[in-house]
Amino acid sequence: MENVTLNVKGMSCGHCVKAIEGSVGEIKGVDKVAVDLENGKVNVQFDSASVSLEKIKETIDDQGYDVE
């Protein structure tokens, strides 16, 4: 398992947390997703053999947030 912390812009409320945790959490190979709303960070634990970091970033981007 790989752990990564992404800086994500545009998150401001509980809906943002649910949107990101829900969409990223559904990706095959993602084990855990935790949004740190206050600091604008998303922690993801995933199996890099099953899913790429790019796929995770694209999924967050598709929800309307900017991944740095």
Could you read off the pLDDT of 4-53 as tens digits, one per residue?
999 999 999 999 999 999 999 999 999 999 999 999 999 999 999 999 99
Range of the domain at 13: 2-67
Total count of domains within the chain: 1
Question: What are the Cα distances from residue 42, in Å, to 14, 46?
Answer: 14, 13
Q: Where are the alpha helices (DSSP H) in the chain?
A: 14-25, 53-62
Domain containing 37 — which CATH number?
3.30.70.100
pTM of the model: 0.93
